[in-house]
Amino acid sequence: MNLHQTENTTPAGLGLVERALVFAARAHRQQIRKGTDVPYITHPVWVAILLLRAGFEDEIVAAGLLHDTLEDTAVTADDLRQAFGQRITLIVQGASEPDKTPTWEVRKQHTIDTVAAATWEVRAVVCADKLANLGELRAEHAALGEGVWARFNRGRGAQAWYYHGLLRALEAAPPCPRLASLLARLRAEVKALFGATAPTAPPVEPANPTSKPPTHATPMILDLSTLYAATEQAKLMDLPKYETAVLAQVPPGADVTLTGKAPVWLYLKIAHALHGRVRMLSYDSPVTGLVEIFNHNPR
């Protein structure tokens, strides 16, 4: 996808960071943060602010703005390379999961295993990314309590294993004075949210204790109108309840088709909640028929 060619031309005269912000805003323009109505672009902006405050140069700040474009949008490495050059592209690639098809545990273990050997530039972006995630998560946990974990593919125990493991990997990497302040803040956030004791392995935490990840993809149709049948109208304030109900019904790795008379915002938010959990997600549109939203295992 040649994003920078198919979109309107970026205004002339912008600096590197400003160009990266415009590019990222366009790439993420239809996305929201999981379990909220907050535009997704707020996350890479916060990552960039953390890097800027820590004194990193414009290329690292730009990479922070772009760090999720390869993993979560249709942007390709060639798009980034043509728009921002090889160094920024390599940083974004190093901070991205290369393959979304394995299980959550396999993907997170890969991140832990590779980050210690990554360049300091990649480690800076990864550290700022996780620091931004944890800051947001801790604020939500203070407001919502343990119910906040229902928004994620894995619960508190698995998240604790991942963040403690990632912290250990970052601490085991060759010392980099420029990373010291970010790493210290990340260490404090991990301890504040998950405690000082690190789990040695991710606990087995299926979203639905009665279901197991299928050996082959399980096809299922999900009528979103059933989520609010009792009230006859979908309410944004009930979104966490809707997401919890969906995650309890849908086993990991399933092929899901969304259907039913429901508002567009509910379709978008449920699709976002299922991203990374299901193998394939489609929408049965009364106008265009079956539309594939994403496929993490294309043939």
Distant-in-sequence, close-in-space partners of 222: CB < 8 Å, separation ≥ 6: 246, 249, 250, 256, 257, 258, 259, 260, 270
Tokens of 208: 């639905």
For tokens 């809707």, the residue is 242
- 216: which residues sit within 8 A by CB, 6+ positions away? none
Q: Looking up tokens 């803040």, which residue turns up?
A: 185
Q: Is 294 helix (H, G, I), strand (E, B) or coil?
A: strand
Catalytic residue among 18, 58, 59, 71: 71
- The strand pairing partners of 292, in sequence order, are 282
Q: Go through the chain and tell me how many residues it has.
A: 299
The residue among 261, 252, 255, 268 whose CA lies nearest residue 224 is: 261
- Rounded distance, CA 36 to CA 167, Å? 26
User: Residue 152 to residues 26, 88, 212, 251: CA-CA distances in angstroms?
Assistant: 25, 29, 17, 13
24 three-state secondary structure: helix
Question: Which of these, 226, 230, 201, lies nearest to 106 by C-alpha position?
Answer: 201
Reply yes or no on whether 37 is catalytic: no
Helices (H), 196-238: none
Residue spans of beta strands (DSSP E) within the chain: 219-223, 255-259, 280-285, 289-295
Q: How far is CA 134 from the centre of its chain?
A: 12
Q: Would you name the residues annotated as active-site residues? A: 71-72
